[in-house]
C-alpha cells in the first residue's frame, strides 16, 4: 500500500536536502559491455533469488482492519481504540494455505502502519514532552488478545511452509505519536496521541526496527513505504548492515541513486498490477532503464479487493479472475515480482471468498504454465543470441515464455519470436519486444501451428538463455 504521491515527493525532497557526501550511498555496480562499451548493471544473489520467487503477498492486518477507513492516512489525529483489535480466531497457518494455493513464495506483513499500532508487544520506552518516561503502549499487548504476538505467529507459519518472510514498517507516519513526514506535527497532540520530539521519534523508530529485524529471523524483504527521511538514512543503512544484510529492500533507493542497500527493489510506479511491456531489471524508477548502472528489479504491488482497498473491507467485492489473470501476465510476465495483497478479516482469517479467488488464480497459472508443449530438440546459439525449438510433428501454441540468465547482468536489448510449419516454410513473426530479464510472457495475437520456433535477439553481450518454452492455454 503506497503512501500518497505527495508524501513521497516531500520525503524525497527532505532526503535529498539532508544527504551527506560521506553518508552511505552504495554506487551502482556494473561491468563494461565488450560490444559497445555501455554499462551492464550487476545483480546481487539476493536480488536474483527474490526475482525467482515471482509471486508473494503483502499482508495488511493491523488496527485499520477494524475501522471503515482503509488505514489512518487521511486523518493525522485518528488513533483507533486498542479495544478494537480483537482477532479471536487468528490462524496464520490458514494465511499460508491461501498463499500456497496461488503459488506465492514469500509474505511481507504490515507490522506497523500509519495508525501507529504494533502487532508485536514492543518493549520500547521513551520520554514524552513533560520529560516523563512512558512505555509505547499502543500494541497488541494492550488489546483484547494480550499475550499474543502476531509477528511471532506469522514467522512461525512462514517457516513451517517454507516461505520467505518480511516486514512493512512505516518510518514516516505514526498517528499515535502525532508524526507525519517523519516529523512531529506542529499541532497539539489530540486525544489518544502522545507528545514527543522528532529526535525522540527517530529513536523509537530504530529501537522498534531493532526488535523487528533482530528478533524474528532472517528477512527476505523489508518495505519502506513512502521512503525515509534524510535524518533516518544513515541509521537505516547501518542497522541493515548489522541486522539484516541479506534482505532485499523495497524503496531502498531515492531517484538520485542515494541508496541504503545494494539489494534494493524498486516500485513499478502504480498499484494496478501493471508493468509496461518494456520493463528492465535495472534503473531507479518505474519501468527502469536499460543503461542504468543500478540493478534494482521491480515489484508490482496490487490489491485483491476492488477500488484499491488494502485492509479488509466489510462486503468489499473482489477483482475478477479474468482481471487477476491479466495482472499475472502484466507483472510476472513483464519482469516484475507480483506482491498481491492479502487482507485477513476481523476474526484473523482470510475470508472464504478470498481463499477461493486465490486458488482460482493458482489453478489457472498451474494449468497453463506447468506443462509446456515439449519440443524434440532445443538448440542455443553460443554466439548469436538465438534459441530454437524443434518439434517432430506440428504443434499448436499460443504463447512463449522467455527467461534470461541475469547472473552477469541483463544483456538482451531486443528479441523476436518466429515460427514456421515445415522445414521449407516461410518464417512468421509471432511476437517481439525489448526487455526479457527474469521472465517475459508473450501472448500471440493468434494461435500458431509450428514445427519450429526460433528466438533471435540483439544484445550488449552474448546472452545465456535460462529457458524458452511455448504453451497452448487458450
Given this model, what pLDDT does residue 302 score? 98
Phi, psi for 156 (deg, rounded to 5) = -60, -40
pLDDT of 8 above 60 = no
Between CA 378 and CA 81 the distance in angstroms is: 63
Q: What average pLDDT does this structure show over 19-45?
A: 77
pLDDT of 91 over the 60 cut? yes
Whole-number Å distance between alpha carbons of 368 and 27? 41
pLDDT for 43: 98
Residue 177 in contact with residue 197, Cβ under 8 Å? no
Backbone angles phi and psi of 281, in degrees to 5: -80, -5
Q: Is 10's pLDDT higher than 70?
A: no
Is pLDDT at 303 greater than 70 in this prediction? Answer: yes
What is the mean predicted confidence (pLDDT) over 114-141? 97
Q: Are strands 179-180 and 164-169 parallel, antiparallel or unpaired?
A: unpaired
Is the per-residue pLDDT at 314 higher than 70?
A: yes
Q: What is the pLDDT of residue 7?
A: 43
Give 28's pLDDT tier (boundaries 50, 70, 90).
Answer: confident
For residues 433 and 278, give the distance between their C-alpha atoms in angstroms, rounded to a whole number.
7
Task: Give pLDDT, residue 227.
Answer: 83
Q: Are 51 and 248 in contact (CB under 8 A)?
A: no
Given pLDDT bands bounded at 50, 70 and 90, which one contains residue 1? low
Neighbouring-strand partners of residue 402: 440, 468
Ramachandran class of 461: left when φ > 0, alpha when ψ lies in -120 to 50, beta otherwise: beta
Please state at what angle helix 150-161 crosses helix 92-102, rounded to 10 degrees: 40
Per-residue pLDDT, averaged over 293-303, amounts to 98
Calculated CA dihedral for residues 143, 146, 149, 153, nearest 10 degrees = -100
Question: Would you state the pLDDT for residue 15?
Answer: 36
CA–CA dist 120, 147 (Å, integer): 10
Q: Residue 3: what pLDDT? A: 53
Q: pLDDT-derived band of residue 27, with 50, 70 and 90 as boundaries?
A: low
The residue among 92 and 9 whose pLDDT is bigger is 92
What is the Cα gyration radius of the chain? 24
352-385 pLDDT per residue, tens: 999 999 999 999 999 999 999 999 999 998 788 9
Lowest mean per-residue pLDDT among 6-20, 25-39, 377-391: 6-20
Cell 477494524 appears where? 66
Q: Which of 256-260, 270-274, 300-304 is predicted least confidently?
A: 256-260
Taking the C-alpha atoms of residue 108 and residue 155, their distance in angstroms, rounded to an integer, is: 10
- Over residues 116-145, the mean pLDDT reads 97
327-359 confidence digits (pLDDT tens): 999 999 999 999 999 999 999 999 999 999 999
Query: What count of residues does the chain have?
Result: 474
pLDDT tier at 474, thresholds 50, 70, 90: confident
10 Å Cβ neighbour count for 282?
28
Burial code (b: 16+ CB inside 10 Å, e: under 16) for 192-216 equals: bbbebeeebbbbbbbebbebbbeeb
For 52-89, write each residue's pLDDT tens digit: 999 999 999 999 999 999 999 989 999 999 999 999 99
Q: What percent of the chain has pLDDT over 70?
A: 94
On the CB side of 138, CA atoms within 13 Å amount to 23
> What average pLDDT does the chain have?
94
431-462 pLDDT, tens digit each: 999 999 999 999 999 999 999 999 999 999 99
What is the per-residue pLDDT across 96-106, written as a single tens digit (0 to 9) for each?
999 999 999 99
Helices 321-331 & 352-369 angle (0-180, nearest 10):
50
pTM > 0.85: yes or no: yes
Q: Residue 60's pLDDT is what?
A: 98
pLDDT in tens, 197-250: 999 999 999 999 999 999 999 999 999 988 898 899 999 999 999 999 999 999
The pLDDT of residue 218 is: 98
Q: What is the pLDDT of residue 67?
A: 97
- Per-residue pLDDT band at 25 (split at 50, 70, 90): very low
| Nine cell digits for residue 101 | 494455493
- SS3 string, the chain, reads CCCCHHHHHHHHHHHHHHCCCCCCCCCCCEEECCCCCCEEECCCHHHHHHHHHCEEEEECCCHHHHCCCCCCCCCCCCCCCHHHCCCCCCCHHHHHHHHHHHCCCEEEEEEECCCCCECCCCCCEEECCCCCEEECCCEHHHCCCCCCCHHHHHHHHHHHHCCEEEEEECCCCEHHHCEECCEECCCCCCCCCCCCCHHHHHHHHHHHHHHHHHHCCCCCEEECCCCCCHHHHHHHHHHHHHHCCCCEEECCECCCCCECCCCEEEECCCCCCCCCCCCCCECCCCCCCCCCCCECCEEEEECCECCCCCCCCCCCCECCHHHHHHHHHHHCCECEEEEEEECCCCCCCCCHHHHHHHHHHHHHHHHHHCCCECCCEEEECCCCCCEEEEEEEEEEEEEEEEEECCCCCCCEEEEEEEEECCCCCCCEEEEEECCCCCCEEEEEEEEEEEEEEEEEEEECCCCCEEEEEEECCC
Per-residue pLDDT at 226: 80
Amino acid at each position: 500500500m503506497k503512501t500518497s504521491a505527495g508524501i513521497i515527493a516531500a520525503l524525497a525532497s527532505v532526503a535529498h536536502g539532508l544527504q551527506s557526501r560521506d553518508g552511505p550511498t552504495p554506487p551502482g555496480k556494473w561491468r563494461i559491455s565488450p560490444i559497445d562499451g555501455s554499462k551492464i548493471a550487476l545483480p546481487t544473489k539476493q536480488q536474483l533469488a527474490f526475482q525467482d520467487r515471482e509471486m508473494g503477498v503483502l499482508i495488511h492486518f493491523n488496527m485499520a482492519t477494524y475501522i471503515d477507513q482503509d488505514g489512518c492516512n487521511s486523518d493525522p489525529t485518528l488513533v483507533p481504540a486498542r479495544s478494537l483489535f480483537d482477532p479471536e480466531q487468528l490462524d496464520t497457518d490458514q494465511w499460508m494455505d491461501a498463499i500456497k494455493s496461488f503459488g506465492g513464495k514469500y509474505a511481507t506483513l504490515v507490522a506497523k502502519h500509519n495508525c501507529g499500532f504494533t502487532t508485536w508487544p514492543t518493549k520500547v520506552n521513551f520520554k514524552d514532552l513533560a520529560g516523563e518516561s512512558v512505555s509505547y503502549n499502543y500494541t497488541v499487548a494492550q488489546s483484547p488478545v494480550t499475550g499474543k504476538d502476531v509477528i511471532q505467529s506469522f514467522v512461525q507459519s512462514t517457516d513451517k511452509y517454507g516461505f520467505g518472510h518480511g516486514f512493512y514498517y512505516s518510518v514516516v507516519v505514526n498517528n499515535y505519536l502525532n508524526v507525519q513526514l517523519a516529523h512531529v506535527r506542529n499541532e497539539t497532540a489530540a486525544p489518544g496521541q502522545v507528545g514527543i520530539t522528532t529526535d525522540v521519534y527517530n529513536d523509537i523508530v530504530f529501537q522498534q526496527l531493532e526488535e523487528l529485524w533482530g528478533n524474528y529471523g532472517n528477512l527476505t524483504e523489508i518495505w519502506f513505504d513512502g521512503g525515509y527521511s534524510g535524518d533516518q538514512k544513515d541509521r537505516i543503512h547501518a542497522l541493515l548492515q548489522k541486522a539484516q544484510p541479506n534482505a532485499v529492500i523495497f524503496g531502498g533507493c531515492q531517484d538520485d541513486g542515494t541508496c541504503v542497500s545494494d539489494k534494493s527493489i524498486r516500485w513499478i510506479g502504480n498499484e494496478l498490477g501493471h508493468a509496461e511491456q518494456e520493463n528492465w531489471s535495472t534503473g531507479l524508477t518505474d519501468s527502469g532503464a536499460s543503461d542504468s548502472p543500478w540493478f534494482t528489479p521491480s515489484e508490482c504491488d496490487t490489491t485483491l479487493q476492488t477500488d484499491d482497498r488494502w485492509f479488509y473491507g466489510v462486503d468489499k467485492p473482489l477483482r475478477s479472475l479474468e482481471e487477476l489473470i491479466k495482472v499475472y501476465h502484466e507483472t510476472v510476465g513483464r519482469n516484475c515480482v507480483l506482491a498481491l495483497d492479502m487482507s485477513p478479516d476481523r476474526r484473523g482469517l482470510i475470508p472464504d471468498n478470498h481463499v477461493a479467488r486465490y486458488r482460482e488464480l493458482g489453478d489457472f497459472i498451474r494449468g497453463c504454465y506447468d506443462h509446456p508443449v515439449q519440443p524434440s530438440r532445443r538448440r542455443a546459439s553460443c554466439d548469436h543470441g538465438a534459441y530454437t525449438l524443434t518439434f517432430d510433428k506440428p504443434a499448436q501454441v499460443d504463447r512463449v515464455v522467455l527467461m534470461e540468465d541475469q547472473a552477469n547482468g541483463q544483456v538482451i536489448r531486443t528479441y523476436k519470436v518466429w515460427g514456421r510449419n515445415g522445414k521449407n516454410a516461410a518464417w512468421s513473426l509471432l511476437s517481439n519486444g525489448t526487455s526479457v530479464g527474469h521472465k517475459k510472457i508473450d501472448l500471440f495475437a493468434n494461435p500458431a501451428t509450428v514445427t519450429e520456433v526460433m528466438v533471435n535477439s540483439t544484445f550488449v553481450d552474448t546472452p545465456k538463455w535460462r529457458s524458452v518454452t511455448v504453451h497452448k492455454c487458450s
